[in-house]
Amino acid sequence: MRFTAETPSNGIVERDFHLGEIPGVLWSPAKAAPGAPLVLMGHGGGLHKKTPAMAARARETVATWGFHVVAIDAPGHGERPRTDEDDQARDDMRRAMTAGDKERFKDVSIRYISGITKRAVPEWQATIDALQGWPAIGAGAPVGYGGGVSMGTAIGIPLTAADPRIRAAIFGGGFFVYDELVEAARRITVPVQFLLPWDDEHVDRQSSLDLFDAFASAEKTLHASPGDHRRIRWAGVDDGFLARHLS
Amino acid sequence: MRFTAETPSNGIVERDFHLGEIPGVLWSPAKAAPGAPLVLMGHGGGLHKKTPAMAARARETVATWGFHVVAIDAPGHGERPRTDEDDQARDDMRRAMTAGDKERFKDVSIRYISGITKRAVPEWQATIDALQGWPAIGAGAPVGYGGGVSMGTAIGIPLTAADPRIRAAIFGGGFFVYDELVEAARRITVPVQFLLPWDDEHVDRQSSLDLFDAFASAEKTLHASPGDHRRIRWAGVDDGFLARHLS
């Protein structure tokens, strides 16, 4: 892991890094407590590790709870090159959308997202390894998945199922649910907070409810509000969820 | 309205009252602020106005937010006589339950609860009239429905639809949903917080989701947790919901 820039402001230090080919950003309290938790945030499809809404949420998490927050560019996103398959899938999605072919749009989206997910899970695990190997964070730091709706959750679910270091996870709807995701959800037993946009224009509501139903967690909460995943205004969601489970 | 007892303890005054034939209880801060909001709490089927879980929630609401909280015995509940029809319906429900006849249990429950609801709505409206006419509360006090799952919500939905003084409402699942309730929900536009037990042993989950879907409110949030309506452990529900909308 190579740190390439360090920008302090308002008590928060933003560090850019590269882990092999993966560009990432780590937000930390200027004076982090030893053993402070590490929260992973996954951006949505077509976005990147410093997408303003997510970066704002990351900074708020650092400022409010004193946690470290890390984001990485997903494969083919942000600073990373896209493969020919990525470009093809994005073209196909655009064409299906323009043609109003909802079934095709869904099929292509699932193929694209599930491919990214398979590459992203080991990258996240390597990121946890690297950050827990960095003395300022350390091996004992509790890890949580801090969500993101859409692709951030499509990646977070198999990651949380695969990695026992993740002790609690915030997930959210806004993507097409496919069988492998439901199977991964069935293997998750840590506390889950699931944010559901009630009126997603593309995603069938029932598929998201089935996904929530699949989590094996004794503590899981569903929070739904009107709106789709781009325009939702969350109200009344428990901001202390990660703090309760990681502190 | 006749106050029949007044019991102060720990900064909270509990006042028993009778409004005509309706027995009620009002919990207030020992030193209530002028214009403090009034929260209505409806007990579940077979229970009464001082059911311990609800009384504890009422006292917490008074202590935390400085609100008044009122509960009344629903028709045929608590100190109130049951009609022959009430007794018949309760017998029928018990028999259907013992026989494992789920459809009959549902039908009898709906008949029983919808009958109680029709009597309860004007009683609640008379209770609001009386308390807003009492100088210590006053006509300007904002009113909220503080919920209760089960029968408390079956009453609260038509009440909130009928009474424009109610500015926000907490509802919850745990009862059989019938058409009149869905129609009343469609007329509700105030902010709604809806608590859904995810695994109610009797009530079809989809019917509760359809009920949530029906609220016309721009701000509505669904919060679901595992468990049925008797055994649910709520986690991460926004305790400040009423305070945000009534204060």
Rounded CA gap, A223 and A43, in Å?
Answer: 20
Q: What is the pLDDT of residue B158?
A: 97
A190 is written with which tokens? 């840590």
pLDDT in tens, A1-23: 999 999 999 999 999 999 999 99
Residues of A in contact with B222 (CB under 8 A): 196, 198, 222-225
Residues of chain A with pLDDT > 90: what percent?
88
Q: What is the pLDDT of residue A247?
A: 86
Q: What is the pLDDT of residue A239?
A: 84
Q: Which CATH architecture has domain B2-246?
A: 3-Layer(aba) Sandwich (3.40)
* Interchain pair A223, B221: CB under 8 A: yes
A4-A54-A183 Cα angle (round to 5) = 105
* Interchain pair A221, B209: CB under 8 A: no
Q: What are phi and psi of B121, to 5 degrees?
A: -60, -50
pLDDT per residue rounded down to tens, chain B (247 residues): 999 999 999 999 999 999 999 999 999 999 999 999 999 999 999 999 999 989 999 999 999 999 999 999 999 999 999 999 999 999 999 999 999 999 999 999 999 999 999 999 999 999 999 999 999 999 999 999 997 768 999 999 999 999 999 999 999 988 899 999 999 999 999 999 999 999 988 899 999 999 999 999 999 999 999 988 776 666 778 889 999 999 8
- Is the ipTM above a cut-off of 0.85? no
Q: What is the pLDDT of residue A40?
A: 97
Residues of A in contact with B191 (CB under 8 A): 235
pTM of the model: 0.87
Q: What is the pLDDT of residue B147?
A: 78
Question: Would you call A241 helix, strand, or coil by DSSP?
Answer: helix
B16 is written with which tokens? 């028993």
With contact defined as beta carbons under 8 Å apart, do A10 and A19 qualify?
no
CA A165 to chain B, closest CA, distance in angstroms equals 22
Average of pLDDT values for A71-77? 96
Task: Compute the half-sphere exposure of residue A83: CA atoms within 13 Å on the CB side of its CA.
Answer: 9
The separation between CA A138 and the C-alpha centre of its own chain, rounded to angstroms, equals 22
Average of pLDDT values for A186-212? 94
A126 is written with which tokens? 């390597």
Average of pLDDT values for A116-129? 97
B161 is written with which tokens? 């639809």
Orientation of helix B151-162 relative to helix B102-132, angle to 10°: 50
* Interchain pair A223, B219: CB under 8 A: no
Q: What ranges do the domains of chain B cover?
A: 2-246
Q: What is the pLDDT of residue B247?
A: 87
Rounded CA gap, A13 and A25, in Å?
Answer: 10
Q: How confident is the model at residue A207 (pLDDT cuts 50, 70, 90)?
A: very high
* Interchain pair B224, A225: CB under 8 A: no
With contact defined as beta carbons under 8 Å apart, do B171 and B208 qualify?
no
The separation between CA B221 and the C-alpha centre of its own chain, rounded to angstroms, equals 17
Give B122: exposed, middle or buried? Use CB within 10 Å, 0-12, 13-18, 19+.
exposed
Q: What is the pLDDT of residue A221?
A: 94
- Report which residue type is found at A73: D
B235 is written with which tokens? 């986690």
Q: How confident is the model at residue A50 (pLDDT cuts 50, 70, 90)?
A: very high
With contact defined as beta carbons under 8 Å apart, do A187 and A218 qualify?
no
